Amino acid sequence: MAISYITIFERTHPEQIIFTSSNCEQAIGYTPQEMLGTSAMKYSADLHAEHYTCQWPSDNPELGLTMMPHNLRCKDGRVVFAHVISINCSG
């Protein structure tokens, strides 16, 4: 059965995952407990991910939300394609 989505909430300062949905483990191999307190960039397979992190808040500051295609690195080393929704949880 395919995973249709995973949810990750990350605050901006400091960059830190504060919530992940339980289906993250099935989709990318990490349990929510392993991901909490880390940065979402740790799971990125994109060499330019750091640049995107700076861009996301400025894309739609009034919404605090951005969606973009992204490659995630699984715990076993595989790379999977996902649409990543960035939600600004700093406020």
**Calpha distance 88→91 (Å, rounded):** 7
- Taking residues 12-16, what's their average pLDDT? 72
Residue 29 lies in a domain: yes
Q: What is the pLDDT of residue 1?
A: 43
Q: DSSP letters of 37-49?
A: TS-GGGGB--TTH
Confidence at 69, pLDDT banded by 50, 70, 90: confident
Residue 63 lies in a domain: yes
Model pTM?
0.70
Question: What residues make up the domain containing 12?
Answer: 8-87
Residue 49 lies in a domain: yes
**What pLDDT, in 10s, does the model give residues 40-60?**
888 888 877 766 655 555 555
Q: What is the pLDDT of residue 41?
A: 81
Of residues 8 and 76, more confidence is placed in 76
Residue 1 lies in a domain: no
Q: DSSP letters of the chain?
A: -------EEEETTTTEEEEE-TTHHHHHS--HHHHTTS-GGGGB--TTHHHHHHHHHHHSTTTTEEEEEEEEE-TTS-EEEEEEEEEB---
Amino acid identity of residue 24, one-letter, is C
CATH number at residue 38: 3.30.450.20
Q: How many structural domains are present in the chain?
A: 1
Mean pLDDT lowest among 20-29, 51-60, 73-82: 51-60
Residue 2 lies in a domain: no
Residue 3 lies in a domain: no
Residue 50 lies in a domain: yes
